[in-house]
């Protein structure tokens, strides 16, 4: 009985750790999105009326963990606040017409 309870507790804790701060990790791995991007992403999921019902519990669980992780990453966000988005984001590079991705490509010569 003790082994089953211990196994359940370990599994439950690993699940919580695995999903904790997920929004914060995902938003910090891309281009700079301002302060508290993970918390804002979790709140957006909760406030969106088109969100599937199965995602809502995960967003509720994730929100406090993302808030803590976003708080710990505030110095990192502060240092990145002046970063050039076009260097980090393929989307921004495409929007700004970066021709460096076409060097050597004869089908799309740089303008």
Measuring CA to CA, which residue among 69, 94, 81 is closest to residue 31? 81
Domain residue ranges of the chain, discontinuous segments joined by +: 21-101
Length of the chain: 111
Query: Each residue's pLDDT tens digit in the chain (111 positions)?
Result: 788 888 888 887 766 666 566 777 777 777 777 888 888 888 888 898 888 888 888 888 888 888 888 888 888 888 877 766 555 666 666 776 755 555 544 555 554
Q: For the full predicted model, state whether its pTM sits above 0.85.
A: no
């Amino acid at each position: 009985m003790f082994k089953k309870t211990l196994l359940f507790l370990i599994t439950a804790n690993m699940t919580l750790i695995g999903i904790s701060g997920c929004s914060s990790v995902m938003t910090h791995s891309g281009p700079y999105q301002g302060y508290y991007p993970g918390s804002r992403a979790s709140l957006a999921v909760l406030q969106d009326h088109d969100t599937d019902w199965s995602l809502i519990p995960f967003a509720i669980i994730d929100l406090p963990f993302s808030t803590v992780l976003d708080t710990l990453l505030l110095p990192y966000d502060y240092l990145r606040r002046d970063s050039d988005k076009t260097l980090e984001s393929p989307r921004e590079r495409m929007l700004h017409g970066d021709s460096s991705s076409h060097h050597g490509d004869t089908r799309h010569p740089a303008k």
